[in-house]
Every structure is written in structure tokens, then in C-alpha cells.
Amino acid sequence: MRFRTADGGRIDRTRTLNFSFDGRALTGHPGDTLASALLANGIHLMGRSFKYHRPRGLLAAGIEEPNALVHVDRGGGRDAPNLRATQVELYEGLNATSQNRYPSLALDVGEAARLFSRFLPAGFYYKTFMWPASFWKRLYEPVIRAAAGLGRAPVLPDPDRYLHRYAHCEVLVIGAGAAGLAAARDAAVTGARVILCDEQNEMGGGLLSEPAATIDGQPAAAWVAAVLADLDSRANVTLLPRATAFGWYPDNMIGVAERVTDHLATPDARVPRERMWQIRAREVVIATGAHERPLVFPDNDRPGIMLAGAARLFLNRHGVRPGARAVIATACDSAYAAALDLHAAGVAIALIADLRANPVGPAIDAARAAGITVRTGTSITGSTGHLRVTGALIGTEWVACDCILMSGGWTPSLHMHAQSRGKLRFDAATANFLPVAMAGQRSTGACAGMFDLATILPGHAVSGIITPDGGHAGLVPGAKPKRAFVDFQNDVTAKDLLLATQEGFRSIEHVKRYTTTGMATDQGKTSNINALAIVAGELGNTIPEVGLTTYRPPYSPVTFGTIAGASRGALFDPERRAPMHDQAVALGARFEDVGPWKRAWYFPGPGEDLHAAVARECRAVRGSVGIFDASTLGKIEVVGADAAEFLNRLYTNAWTKLGVGRCRYGLMLSEAGFVMDDGVVGRIAEDRFHVTTTTGGAPRVLNHMEDYLQTEFPDLRVWLTSATEQWAVIAVQGPGARDLIAPFVEGIDLAPAAFPHMSVREGTICGVPTRLFRVSFTGELGFEINVPADFGPAVWEALMGTGVPTPYGTEAMHVLRAEKGYIIVGQETDGTVTPDDLGLSGMIAKSKKDFVGKRALRRPDLVVPNRKQLVGLLTEDPAVVLEEGAQIVADPAQPIPMRMIGHVTSSYASPTLGRSIAMALVEGGRGRMGKLLYVPMPGHTIAVRVVEPVFHDKAGARLDG
């Protein structure tokens, strides 16, 4: 660690940490970041640039760092690309590698890109690689993608845990520098709930790199420690270090990403890696400080060229010298502070080149008094070196050095304020945009343009600190725009920006998108103002006339893990399980996803595939008796004196005359007249209906009913209750259904005359209360046994215990209903299908004056004769099963594109019929009975004959067993 100072800084020199960078074994100390530890070892080269693969070192010392992106691998899938080395805290065994280089950082073949840089100007992907068009996908894009880029995405599943926390407070303070600490302290003493978050490992902000500063006579660091100790002692205060406020969402909801374990060599498995806080604050105090601007001059990106404030931070906080001989290039007093501190630490200061013609003040006086050469009115206009800077062009003189420390002044960090849709004003005196406070938030400290510590801490005596006066934005005077980098992370130069304006771009938002300036993961923290100044200068406008681009979250990259939190794997989209799920698992069921439900799809016996199992299940239902878990059906209890009238208005059918104990198939329309849902409705009492809906439609139907009940028919005395999860439903279907359940049922006369098809009775089964429906979705004699959900498994097992019924799954259910031509809403319908299209005009009560959707059924488009109508299709070759969704044409010989007259909605191999069957929606379908139509498929065409959409037991004789 040749560049480590003997003392000073906030590191622990008594302990040494081993780490590796690109496989090289190195050491550092607790308190180091990866960046400071590499600097201590004399390593500046840390990355290759995005587009031109230029060698890059550190520009900054914190969250704004654009160049030094590294990959940290902890093994076992714990690897993270694109971490800023300035934020990676050193721990024993840290294993980091550089990115975007091959085969190594020092020898990178991609660097050849710079030879072709004239082919990669702003917007190159819009022009250079345009022709021939076919080359883009096969050649240009793959090559450009391989060459450009950041890190490698991890390939293994992330084994770490991430959690979300919600918090509420009266005051959230973002940033724990001097201004933020003061704001938190002032709020805390009122007893308000205060949360103070800061993105760094230590709170204190800039005060931590001001060793000479004093506040009320004590060192600034001691003042920080005292304020933090006081805040920490208060129950109403929460301190969140390593927590980056990344997004501002409406009504003061702030997203904060907390890095909990990344700095630890051996994290505690009980704590998450990261935690996302969603904090709702009555007031947000933004104290996010300012970012130093680079100077824009040719070759301002060589390793060893960094911001003066960054060099000063590395020295004062980490005890690291950036080099042996420094050139300081500045337009701001703060660089003099860096020069003075480095000079005192033994770094030779070749000279200070100040852009300003006549800078005055204590900083300049102090530098001269220390014997440092100060040249005013002097620009830096170039640099030499390759993997490390070796010289600076000052005026016309080349000055040898191993680091160039620059400062273009400081840009208030407006990100959070601007994300909150806060207004900005342009302060001509400092040439900065500044935030305008609004209800619920205010800015303080450097982000509000307050750079003087005495202003930030009124009532405190402060000394020993240089206020950063002055600044410059845009290309430095006398410098050429070529290779003068503005956006270091996206490799955008002043020349690119000038080209964009020459090509006619005027809006800064368009220039941004065309050149990609400010669009990298650093969100333009160091580049936006320089870019704006260059564009404004070229357009002959002022900076406020051109304006800033829109700030959007995230302020700094947030891991996917943090965003996902616990919503991963089984918790990503929690599955719903029917009451008899475990029984189905025990029977070896294969499951399918139906919306959020896991439904038993089929029950394969030994050696059976889907086809064989479904055929056996179907034959069992038609020949003896099958048993099916139908619990996922939506169920809504409709209760009240006006319940029948309510259903009259919500369904096409008439309900008033439906007797207690009887059921009816109900069809529900949207107001636009299209079929929305269907299901059997049973009348349990005069004022009580048991309504069933489709499996997927239950929430939608309940919402639809509530909407009309609350807003259109509020005079009706009706209450709606979801009962989907309260009832387990066991469908028992087949000629043996009655004999199977009879021994278990009490209190219900099952005789056909006493309990006809489409009836419902209350009684008990296996001793538990049941609503027993006699209904059929198979065309066979059938019952649907509703019991309170927790009793479902016991009743299922009692019935299965007879050894009689065959369990069947959703696939057999679909085949059985299709054989009977029963529709499934969402399969035969798609939101554009009317009852008449389905051949269900008979479901529409003629007697009713009004129901939802009635008027719309007379709309001209809904009564045209050639609407698509539901028909059956039989393939000429009975072995061929059509594909659902396949398109249908009348004339297979017509030229392409053919006129499509319909599509297949359902298609199965029917075990009952021993052939394929299908349903389809076909233009004027009912007028085409017996006709041949065609289904063109890749390479062949299938001939089909149009038939009635009922394939089995057209008379319905089997419903009575």
C-alpha cells in the first residue's frame, strides 16, 4: 500500500484485510472501499469504457462514479455485476473483477473500437449500420452488443433473501451530511417520528472529509458523532445507513434500498441481503448534497484523472494519496482545499490551473502561501498517457504528472426533488438550478444551493472549511470537443453533442436520446449540466431556456432482488389449491394452472399417458360414475328481499318464478350485450340464491354485481357475499351417481320425481350439512355436493372409500362437456360473442323490460346475419384432431392472404364417439350446416363438415340416469 498515508482518515490501520482484484492478491484496511484500497495499491485502471473500451480509472469517490464498475463474486450464485467500486466496502476475502474487457484490463482487444470511433458517432445505430437491413439482426447487432456493455448477468438463481418493509414517519430526512443531521435533530426534539437515511456506510457526509473543520469549537467529526449519538438514543428516531433513497412516488412515498450484508465477510444468514423500505412521510427533507462536475477537455478520461473532491475524500477519509505528482485544474475554490490537503500529505502539486481570470479569496491565498504555483485564466486542454495519465496540457505547456485533479464546480443533486415533481428555478449568480420547496417537502444544504457551512448550520460557530465558490459548465475555453468526455459512462463526448445540434436536434430531451448522454446507470449525475451547457451554447440559448431533462427513478441502480422482495418462487404468484388438492396429489393427479388455481388435470394410471387416462375417465363417467373436484367454481350468495329482482336485472333469464329448490342456468351479459359469464343458480329460499360463476370469473362477476347494486340499483335490498372458498364442491357424474351417494345422504329424497334435474336440496351427507345440487356438466345423471370446505376431504374420501367412483380431471371434464356442446365462457366466447351467436337466444327472457345488456343486443352490428355463430365441426378424417385457435376458410384454393371466416374454439378426441370433435365460431355458421369448410395448416389443409354443436345424446335422455 505505497500510497497509504502514515496516519489520518477513518480506517483501521491495525487490521489488514486481504482481497483480490482480477485475481491479484491485495490488502487494505477496515474502512476502505474497494476503490480506496486499489488506489492505496497504486491501481487506477479499474474498467473499460462502454463504447470505445477506453481505459478508465476512478472519476469520483461515491455513488456518482461512472467508470469503476466491478463484478463482485461471493460464490454460490452470490455475484453482482456493475457495482461501483467506490461503494463496495472492503471485507476479508472480497473477490472483485473488472468488466467489459478481454482478455484483460491492460490488454483489451475491444480497445480497437477506438480506431473505428469515427464510425460510432452520436446516433450511430440509427445510421452507420443501417444497410443492408438484413445485416442488422445477423451481424451488426450481435457484434455491437458483444462489444458494448457493462457486466455479465449472473447465471445462477440468487440464493439471498430480500425483504420489504413499510414505515411511516412525520419527517424523513434523505442524506446525513451537515444539513441532514441538523434537520433530523431539529425534528427529533419535537418528538416526531423521524427516519434519517443515508447511502453511505458512515453518516456525516462531506464533514467526514474535512479534518480541519470545527463546529462550535470541536472537530466536525466529533460534532457528527455527538449528533448521531443523540439521535440514536431517541426512540422516535430510526437511523438507516447504507440506505439509498432511489425513488419518489406520489404523496410522499419514498423507496429506499438498504444494503444490509454486502459489507460483511460472513453475513448472518438470518438477515436479508437487502431491504426495500417504502416510507410514507408527512414531510420529506431532501439533504442529498451536490456532485462535483468534471472539466470537459480532450482526453479528460484517462486513469489518474479524477474529481478534486474525490481525491480529497480518498485522502481525508481513507488515508490514500491519488499519486505522487498532481496537476490541479479547476474553476472552483474547492479544488484549492484538495491541493492544500494533498500538499500537506506529501503529494507534489505541479500547479493549479484555474480557468477563472482573477479568482480571489482565502483558498487562493492559502495555496499561494503554501508555495503552490497558481496560474489563473488558464485552461487544461489535453492529457497524455494510456493506462495512466502522464501529463497535462496547460495552455501550450505539457506538465508531467501522474494524476490530474479537476473541478468544474458543484451541481446540486436535484434528483429526489425533481422526481417529486418539484419545480426548479435557475439561479443566475451560481449558474445552478435550485429546488423550489412545495407542500410536504423541502431541500436543505448543498442540494438547495447552500454551500456555506455557516448557512447550513445557523447558530453554530464554524471554521476551518473552504466554501466551494465558482464553477464552469461545458467545454473548457480553448479545448477541442473531440474525445472531450461529457458522459463518461455512456462514452458521450462534446463532439457528439455538437453533432446532434448540427443535425437539427433542438430539444434537450431529443439530444439526450440521440446521443444517450445522461442515460447511463449513473443517471447523468456528473454529466447533465455540462451537456446542457454545451447544447445551450451551440443553440445560442441560455441554460434555463434549454432546460433540464426529466429525472426519473431510480436515483441509483436497485437490484431486482430488492424490488422483488419475498415475491419469488412460490410467493411470486401464490397458487390457490382446491379443498381436495391433497387427495388429488395422493391419487397421482397431474395438475394444470387455471388462473391462480392448481386443478387436477388427469389421473394417470400405470403406463397411461394423458390421452389414455382421459379416455378411461370419460368412459367411466359415461358408463358408471366419476368424481370430480369442482370447488374452484365461483360461488356468490345473493340474499335479500329483492334478490330475485336483482338477478332479473343482472342475468338474461327471468328469476321471479323460479321455485325454491329449483336451479336455472344463468347467462350474464356486459352492458354492451356480450356474454360475460354463466353458471347455475339455485334458489335456496325466497330471498336467497346460490349463484355459481366460472372458475376464472368469480371476482369479476362479484365486482360487476356490486357495481350495479351500489350505483345503478341502490334501492334494491340485496346483499352479496363471496362463498367460493366456503364450499367444497364434489361433482358425482354418471349413471351410477345416485346409487353412489344414496347411502351417505340424509334428509333428502333422491328419487327422480322428488329431486329432478336442476334442483337443489339441503340435508346432510356423511353427517355434515350439504347443499346438494342435481346438475350436470357432462350430460349424465349428476350431483354437485356442496359441503363446508373443511369437510370436503372427508366426504371425498368416504365416497372414494366405496371403491366405486373414478376420479376425473379437468381434461375429461372438458371433453365430456364438449361432447354435449356445453360452452365454456372464455373458450367459446371472447368478449365479442352474443347469446344468439352461441345459439342461446332461448336464454333471453322476452318478458323482462330491462336487464344489463338488453338494449345493446339490438345494436346494428349485433344483429347482422353473418355474425360468427357457434357450430360443431367434424373432420372428414375422424382421426384428425383440429388445433384450437385454427382459422377456418370457405375456399382452400383462394390466394393468400385468405379470407378467414372463423376459428376453432374447442377440439378434442372424443372417447365416447371414437372420433374427433370440435366447436367453432363461423360466419353465418348456422346457415352452413352440412357444408364443407377448410382449416389450412402448415403444409396441408384439413376438410371439416359443419354440424350441430351437440355430438352426444342430443335428446338429453341420459340426464335422468
Partner 1 sequence: MLIIPCPHCGPRPENEFRYSGEAHVVRPADPETLDDAALAELLYMRSNPKGRHAERWRHIHGCGWFFNCIRDTVTDRIERTYPAGTAP
Site of interaction with partner 1 (CB under 8 A): 249-251, 253, 278, 280, 421, 671-672, 703, 706-707, 710-712, 714, 849-850, 854-856, 859-860
Q: What is the DSSP letter of 781?
A: S
Measured from the CB atom, is 250 or 574 closer to partner 1? 250
Distance CA 822, CA 839 (A): 11
Amino acid at 302: R
Distance CA 474, CA 950 (A): 78
Q: Give the CA radius of gyration of the chain.
A: 38
How far apart are CB 649 and partner 1 at their closest, in Å?
11
Angle at 588 between CA 582 and CA 592, to 5 degrees: 80
How far apart are CB 689 and partner 1 at their closest, in Å?
19
Helix or strand holding residue 184 (H, E)? helix 178-188
How far apart are CB 744 and partner 1 at their closest, in Å?
38
Angle at 62 between CA 531 and CA 5, to 5 degrees: 125
How far apart are CB 816 and partner 1 at their closest, in Å?
36
Distance CA 550, CA 32 (A): 35
The answer to whether the beta carbons of residues 368 and 374 sit under 8 Å apart is yes
Query: Residue 769, preceding bond cis, omega within 30 degrees?
Result: no
How far apart are CB 860 and partner 1 at their closest, in Å?
6
SS3 486: strand
**Helices 334-344 and 362-369, packing angle to 10 deg:** 30
Distance CA 407, CA 280 (A): 37
Measured from the CB atom, is 24 or 859 closer to partner 1? 859
Task: For residue 18, list its beta bridge partners.
Answer: 27
How far apart are CB 251 and partner 1 at their closest, in Å?
4
Chain CA centroid to CA 955, Å: 54
Measured from the CB atom, is 726 or 941 closer to partner 1? 726
How far apart are CB 866 and partner 1 at their closest, in Å?
19
Measured from the CB atom, is 863 or 929 closer to partner 1? 863
C-alpha cell at 739: 346409487
Distance in angstroms between the alpha carbons of the first and the last residue of the chain = 91
For the four alpha carbons of 921, 924, 930 and 934, in that order, the dihedral sign comes to negative
Measured from the CB atom, is 421 or 552 closer to partner 1? 421
Query: Residue 132, preceding bond cis, omega within 30 degrees?
Result: yes
Strand order in the sheet with 576-577: 576-577, 597-602, 590-594
How far apart are CB 647 and partner 1 at their closest, in Å?
18
Q: Which of 427, 423, 449, 445 is nearest to 436 (CA)?
A: 423
Measured from the CB atom, is 854 or 926 closer to partner 1? 854
Measured from the CB atom, is 420 or 786 closer to partner 1? 420
Measured from the CB atom, is 590 or 854 closer to partner 1? 854
How far apart are CB 711 and partner 1 at their closest, in Å?
5
φ/ψ bin of 167: left (φ > 0), alpha (ψ from -120 to 50), beta (otherwise):
beta
How far apart are CB 41 and partner 1 at their closest, in Å?
46
Distance CA 448, CA 411 (A): 10
Distance CA 500, CA 484 (A): 15
How far apart are CB 672 and partner 1 at their closest, in Å?
5
Angle at 566 between CA 563 and CA 567, to 5 degrees: 75
The answer to whether the beta carbons of residues 434 and 412 sit under 8 Å apart is yes
How far apart are CB 191 and partner 1 at their closest, in Å?
22
For the four alpha carbons of 192, 198, 204 and 205, in that order, the dihedral sign comes to negative
Distance CA 709, CA 835 (A): 23
Measured from the CB atom, is 545 or 712 closer to partner 1? 712
Distance CA 425, CA 419 (A): 15
Q: Which residue's entry shows cell 386443478? A: 599
Measured from the CB atom, is 278 or 832 closer to partner 1? 278
Query: Residue 219, preceding bond cis, omega within 30 degrees?
Result: no
C-alpha cell at 217: 469549537
Measured from the CB atom, is 860 or 885 closer to partner 1? 860
How far apart are CB 276 and partner 1 at their closest, in Å?
13
How far apart are CB 447 and partner 1 at their closest, in Å?
23
How far apart are CB 444 and partner 1 at their closest, in Å?
24
C-alpha cell at 598: 392448481
Measured from the CB atom, is 649 or 928 closer to partner 1? 649
How far apart are CB 459 and partner 1 at their closest, in Å?
35
Amino acid at 142: P
**Helices marked H in 323-403:** 334-344, 362-369
Measured from the CB atom, is 279 or 431 closer to partner 1? 279
Measured from the CB atom, is 368 or 855 closer to partner 1? 855
Amino acid at 693: T
The answer to whether the beta carbons of residues 636 and 700 sit under 8 Å apart is no
Measured from the CB atom, is 858 or 940 closer to partner 1? 858
Measured from the CB atom, is 92 or 830 closer to partner 1? 830
Residue 753: Cβ within 10 Å count: 6
